[in-house]
Chain A
Amino acid sequence: MKIGVFVCHCGSNIEATVDTAAVAAAAREFPGVVFATDTMYTCSEPGQDEIVDAIKEHNLGGVVVASCTPRMHEQTFRRTVERAGLNKYLFEMANIREHVSWIGKDREANTNKSVDLVRMATEKLLRNRALHPKKFTINKRVLIIGGGVAGIQAALDCADGGLEVVMVEKTSTIGGKMAKLDKTFPTVDCSSCILGPRMVDVAQHPNITLYAYSEIEEIKGYVGNFEIKVKKKATYVDWKNCTGCGICMEKCPSKKATDTFNEEIGKTTAINIPFPQAIPKKAKIDPAFCTMLKKGKCGICAKVCPSGCIDYEMKDEFITEKVGAIVTATGFDLFDWTVYGEYGGGRYPDVITSLQYERMLSASGPTGGHIKRPSDGKEPKNVVFIQCVGSRDKSVGRPYCTGFCCMYTAKQAILTKDHLPQSQSYVFYMDIRATGKLYDEFTRRAMEEYDTNYIRGRVSMIYPKGDKLLVRGADTLMGTQVEVDADLVVLAVGAESSAGASELAEKLRISYDSYGFYMEGHPKLKPVETNTAGVYLAGACQGPKDIPSSVGQGSAAAAKVLGLFSKDQLESDPQVSIVDIKRCIGCGKCIQTCPFGAIKEIDFRGMVKADVIETICQGCGICTSTCPQGAVQLQHATDNQILSEVNALCQF
């Protein structure tokens, strides 16, 4: 094989600490190398053209590019050599940027290391074979996990694009966090008025199947052909016949059930529909509070239900769905602020979260839209908002900025004045981050038109004084201490990854950061892709996001799915394991170790042999190192190829 080597300067990224011309000169002496040069930007158009021209001029059979990480440009250069008529697997990359020039300053040592890496790449390339992907048909249905605003947007866009959509939502209604909001910033329009119709669209769209009160149990398969096991949790109500009339709720005697939808402001009944606009508008029983399920006595809901839907014997049900792509839109949860002892650690009833306050502001909320102190039901006069609770605070392990609290706090301050014109709001803030369209204007309005007193500084202590709460903090602009007699304190609690995010990530085989937020394929260029083919992200599961950004991502993820499904067949990655049937002794060790269930036992002329299902194999190589016979070989990373690299490196 005639090999060409291209050593990239990457501007000064590599050239500053690596003598690329010397690397190219050294490469010319390697076996097989007939052409070697250094280029300014190999990935640029002239850089790529140089490769194409060299392949034609020197009749090259393979190409090595020494530049950046293959994560960056392997695909780029594979397409380049393909353009010149070579098989794209007759290409190797040596990473002399991330592994060399960026991490060392010694030019001579760096140059030597780069030569070694290029030698390894050429030796491997000499043993590369042309590989050809296989085509397989795909299932053009999409699964959306999570029914918040991001998931709703993705579902509707996919469904309108003609795809069959399966939506799985953990709680008994879709709508997510947005459904709990009273108004949205910066327009102060009613949240449920914008979201409500979209939720109805989900329910009525002929292409959407909704599983509410359900969770993902298991995910098998691969892009184009996933098999999903959905757990439909027992609701104890037959949803086929439930009309959502609500008579059961009126009559239920167990009225102390946890009201999660209302953020535990108030209580609900053991059988309940979370809110009037719920989709689906169906009742479910909370078994922790149902007297019938706990003690076997009561049964009132069963007596009053006009449709006879109540079924105390109901069990969880499992359903299998087949889809070709998955959009994860599992959203976020609120930081548990009770770790802050200085805010009372949860001991004072009149210190509440911003989302609790939102429920209080909502006309359909537990107080009917009236602001009332939880302790005595009185209207507050002084309301203190504290920002950055569980945001930008390393001491509680949340160094990141949630990003939308500045905005909703300004909104809540405005709404407070609207509800209670005699009230005075105070906002303790660190910095005001209002970087969206019309956002800064909005926070100025809160200050200038609604007379909100913004105090730059942190609160050191909240303690009760009579029936008020004394809030003490610093005013860092004035350099003084401030004390405010507050009637109500609202904590702008930050966002964290939703409960169970990491468990779901394991099932999806996608990666997540140390806070549990899902990792996008590339922080700039692949914002809604993951590193697992066919799995996309939308909304706050990837990181805290406001409504416009979440919706934007929902649409972006839908566009990616529609793009993926624009083909009838996909190409499978040929970098998979293959069993050499002559060497296989049928011991089955590879079957046991394969984490993807990609190897099965077959009968070959009466003998037991292993066989790889190529579409399921992810190319991890575990079977290769397990096989005692060396019979399983991972294509493009065979034992011989790896050993040739080792030999190239350890020749002295």
Chain B
Amino acid sequence: MNTSLNYAYYPGCSSTGTSIEYDMSSRAVCAALDIKLNDVPDWSCCGSTPAHTVDHSLSSALSARNLNQVASIGMDSCITPCPSCLANLKTATHRMEDEAFRNKVNKLLDKPADTRVSTKSVLQILVEDYGIENIRKKVVRPLKGLVVGAYYGCILNRPAELMQFDDSEHPMAMDNIMEALGATVVPFPLKVECCGASFGIPRKDVVMRLSGKLLDTAHAIGAKALVTACPLCQMNLDMRQNQINHANGSHHNIPIFYFTQLLGLALGLTEKEMGMNKLCVSPRTLLDAMANEETIKEKAA
């Protein structure tokens, strides 16, 4: 087992609020797998969508500052659970390859940008650096009986040239992890479709339509739950599920997990550690059913 994995960890703003359970479970899972995370000191918001829609150099300056903070603790490899943060950090690095742009950004910074730091998602290092086979070996509580679909969202793997991870049209990373954890994975045909993202605030109808379609499809293929890797996707599908049902006249009751939450459970971590109580659509019935399956199996043994 590779115990030398060591990264700077950039949680992103959502992790301090709406996706706190993603942060909790990511940290706990990494600890359980002996992956050392070093908190980036004095990190700030990446600027998210609002910053880059207003000004590219300002947006990149925010990311560059955070990358400088990574370098300040002597690290050159940073991971983040959030695809939106990831996109911003990677875009900044990519844009700063252009000297003119880099100079523009540097004018906004106290010290010039350190361009050596590379960024990856928590999902990517689990798959590429830790390895799914190694995860499989660590499973103590298989997710028997859980029928799950993997939903990646539109930016985790795209644009392909920038993200450099998995298949941009048909990613399999989470499908493969869930399969390794013992779950029954149903192929989710809309796995890279947009959930409506931040349109939830200015144009809720868009999210109702797009996320509604995702839930309809999950239901149609028989998925009892979806796993996500994105705070915004999770929020739209989970927190807004009631609104969606209301708007579309549907009756979905599909728990939306972060993949790290289910990974943690399978590794033997507790529901509390995984922040299961933070989910809006209760996974209780589903988790009980899984536990039952296990007890039945134990009794049979």
Contacts and interface: CB of A to CB of B under 8 A. Distances in A.
**B-side binding surface: helix, strand, loop or mixed?**
loop
Nearest to B216: A465
A465 B187 CA distance: 12
B44 interface: no
B220 A465 contact: yes
Contacts of B217: 465
A341 B169 contact: yes
A464 B193 CA distance: 14
B168 A341 contact: yes
Interface in B180-238: 187, 189-190, 193, 217, 220
Interface string A321-350: 000000000000000000011100101000
Nearest to A466: B220
A463 B187 CA distance: 11
Interface in A432-467: 461, 463-466
Contacts of A461: 193
B189 A345 contact: no
A464 B189 CA distance: 7
Interface string B26-55: 000000000000000000000000000000
Given A463-B190, A464-B189, A341 B220 contact: no
Contacts of A341: 167-170
A17 B105 CA distance: 45
Nearest to A345: B170
A463 B216 CA distance: 14
Given A465-B220, A466-B220, A345 B169 contact: yes
Contacts of B189: 463-465
Nearest to B170: A341
A342 B169 contact: yes
A139 to B, nearest CB: 54
Contacts, number: 19
Nearest to A344: B170
Contacts of A345: 167, 169-170
Most buried by A among B170, B187, B220: B170
Most buried by B among A341, A347, A464: A341
Contacts of A464: 189
A279 B190 CA distance: 48
Interface in A446-500: 461, 463-466
A377 B167 CA distance: 31
Most buried by A among B169, B170, B193, B217: B169
Contacts of B193: 461
Contacts of B169: 340-342, 345
A464 B190 CA distance: 9
Nearest to A469: B189
B195 to A, nearest CB: 15
Contacts of B220: 465-466
Interface in A369-406: none
Contacts of B187: 347
A343 to B, nearest CB: 9
Contacts of B167: 341, 345
B167 to A, nearest CB: 6
B279 to A, nearest CB: 27
B73 to A, nearest CB: 38
A461 B190 CA distance: 9
Contacts of A466: 220
A150 B190 CA distance: 45
B152 to A, nearest CB: 12
Nearest to A348: B189
B204 to A, nearest CB: 20
Nearest to B189: A463
Interface string B168-179: 111000000000
A466 B189 CA distance: 11
A340 B167 CA distance: 10
A345 B55 CA distance: 37
A341 to B, nearest CB: 2
B223 to A, nearest CB: 14
A461 B167 CA distance: 14
A340 B169 CA distance: 8
B199 to A, nearest CB: 16
A339 to B, nearest CB: 10
Nearest to A342: B169
B132 to A, nearest CB: 20
Nearest to B217: A465
A464 B187 CA distance: 10
A302 B68 CA distance: 76
A465 B219 CA distance: 11
Contacts of A465: 189, 217, 220
A300 B190 CA distance: 50
Nearest to B168: A341
B93 to A, nearest CB: 22
A340 B217 CA distance: 22
Interface string B131-169: 000000000000000000000000000000000000111
A375 to B, nearest CB: 15
B164 to A, nearest CB: 15
A465 B220 CA distance: 8
A464 to B, nearest CB: 5
A541 to B, nearest CB: 32
A510 to B, nearest CB: 36
A340 B160 CA distance: 13
Nearest to B193: A461
A505 B190 CA distance: 45
A412 B167 CA distance: 32
A347 B169 CA distance: 12
A463 B188 CA distance: 9
6 contacts: A340-B169, A341-B168, A345-B167, A463-B189, A465-B189, A465-B217
Interface of B: 167-170, 187, 189-190, 193, 217, 220
The 8 closest A-B pairs by CB, nearest first: A341-B169, A463-B189, A341-B170, A342-B169, A464-B189, A341-B167, A345-B170, A463-B190
Given A341-B169, A464-B189, 15 more contacts: A341-B168, A341-B170, A342-B169, A345-B167, A345-B169, A345-B170, A347-B170, A347-B187, A461-B193, A463-B189, A463-B190, A465-B189, A465-B217, A465-B220, A466-B220
Interface of A: 340-342, 345, 347, 461, 463-466
